[in-house]
Amino acid sequence: MTAQAFISALADVQMPDVFNPYSEQCSQHDRQDAPACRRANLEMFLHAAIRERVDTIWIARDLGYRGGRRTGVPLTDEVHLESMSRLFGGLAVARATVGPAVAERTAAVIWRVIAQINQPVFLWNVFPFHPHEPGEPMSNRCHTRDERENTKRFLLALLEMLQPRRVIAIGRDAQLALLELDIAVTPVRHPSYGGQTEFIGGVFSLYGMKEADLKAQSSLFSSGAG
């Protein structure tokens, strides 16, 4: 499957109480061309990962309303779109929303850690869309087993395209979902709910960073996670 075909198939999915950022427009926050913009952002990210032969994928649970729902890039908020661009030598990514850029705490920690390890990675979610509570589009909920089953083909297609050497599961939910698919994973703590230090230490360990490098942890929080 090509990157373009993959994203086109993503855009075709519709589910109740799920926002598909690659085909749906948020009446409150989005520009007129928002779905097309998010498709373009993701396509550039995927093409860059294929070109660079990225050997590691970090996979979390699902898109959040302050992050991937707005940008189209998993685990990436608007504040860190430029960080993703720089990581791959300068991608022409763009915001799909109006108003001030919105930050997400998880994305802030993720991208500060990526800046420290300074290696290209691909980011994804077990469930590739934004599940929300009924009637509350600006909320986050965990996707259901049925939702995961109905979209697992995207995860499997992505792994086939990228052929990663290592899959890092961010958080227990992602770890269990990936193990159900018989995907070998290396788990790390999710950075939310007080898990930032364990997440950073776990990733640093996986990337062979020296004990002295762990002092960078303090700087990850000194400027405040969004």
Judge whether 195 and 225 are in contact, CB under 8 Å. Answer: no
User: pLDDT of the chain along its 226 residues, tens only?
Assistant: 899 999 999 999 999 999 999 999 999 999 999 999 999 999 999 999 999 999 999 999 999 999 999 999 999 999 999 999 999 999 999 999 999 999 999 999 999 999 998 889 999 999 999 999 999 999 999 999 999 999 999 999 999 999 999 999 999 999 999 999 999 999 999 998 888 999 999 999 999 886 555 555 545 544 443 3
92 φ, ψ to 5°? -85, 55
CATH number of the domain enclosing 100: 3.40.470.10
CA angle 152, 190, 18 (to 5 degrees): 40
Judge whether 71 and 19 are in contact, CB under 8 Å. Answer: no
Cα–Cα dist 38/97, whole Å: 10
* Domain extent for 37: 3-222
Domain count, the chain: 1
pTM for this prediction: 0.92
